Amino acid sequence: MGYDRAPDRVLIVHDPATAGSPALPLAIPGAEIVEARSFSSYQEELAKSDFDVVVIDYDLPGTQRPEVLAELKVRDNEPDVLIFSKCEDASTIRRISQSQKRYVVRDEMWVESIGRAVRDMLRIRKLEGENYQIRARLTESNRQLEERNTRLDEFCATIAHDIRGPLSGLILKIDYILERYREGLDPKCADMLSRSMDSAQRLVGVVQSMYEFAKLGRDGTEFASVELAPLAREVIADLRGGARCQVTLEAASLPAVRGNAGLLRRALINLFGNSIKYGDKEWVIISLTSPGRVVGRDCPMLEVLVRDNGPGVDSAQAKSLFEMFSRGKHGTSGPEGLGVGLAVVKRIMELHGGSIELVQDGRPGCCFRVLLPLA
Q: Which pLDDT score, from 0 to 100, does residue 367 have? A: 92
Confidence band of 2 (pLDDT split at 50, 70, 90) = very low
- By percentage, how much of the chain surpasses pLDDT 70? 87
Question: Mean pLDDT across the stretch 237-252?
Answer: 81
Q: How far is CA 134 from CA 8, 88, 97, 121, 143, in A?
A: 20, 41, 30, 20, 14
* Among 65, 202, 53, residue whose Cα is nearest residue 120: 53
Q: Which pLDDT score, from 0 to 100, does residue 339 have? A: 66
pLDDT at 108 over 60: yes
* Among 151, 197, 155, residue whose Cα is nearest residue 174: 197
* Among 70, 145, 123, residue whose Cα is nearest residue 101: 70
Q: CA-CA distance, 186 to 179, in Å (whole number)? A: 14
When the pLDDT of each residue in the chain is averaged and rounded to a whole number, the result is 82
Question: Mean pLDDT across the stretch 279-305?
Answer: 84
Pairing of strands 246-251, 283-295: parallel
pLDDT at 369 over 90: yes
pLDDT at 216 over 80: no
What is the tens place of the pLDDT at every residue in 129-172?
A: 889 899 999 999 988 988 887 787 777 777 777 887 888 888 89
pLDDT at 305 over 90: yes
- By percentage, how much of the chain surpasses pLDDT 90? 13
pLDDT at 113 over 80: yes
Question: Mean pLDDT across the stretch 63-92?
Answer: 82
Q: Which tops the pLDDT comparison, 26 or 290?
A: 290
Confidence band of 334 (pLDDT split at 50, 70, 90) = very low
Most confident of 207-216, 239-248, 357-366: 357-366
* Among 84, 30, 24, residue whose Cα is nearest residue 52: 30
Mean pLDDT lowest among 81-85, 253-257, 322-326, 365-369: 322-326
Buried b (16+ CB within 10 A) or exposed e, 235-247: bbeebeeeeeeeb
pLDDT at 63 over 90: no
Confidence band of 241 (pLDDT split at 50, 70, 90) = confident
Confidence band of 328 (pLDDT split at 50, 70, 90) = low
pLDDT at 1 over 60: no
pLDDT at 3 over 50: no
Q: pTM for the complete prediction?
A: 0.55
Question: Mean pLDDT across the stretch 192-198?
Answer: 87
Q: Which pLDDT score, from 0 to 100, does residue 217 have? A: 64
Pairing of strands 31-36, 80-85: unpaired
Of all helices (H) and strands (E), which one includes residue 36?
strand 31-36
Helix, strand, coil tally for the chain in percent (to 5): 50, 20, 30
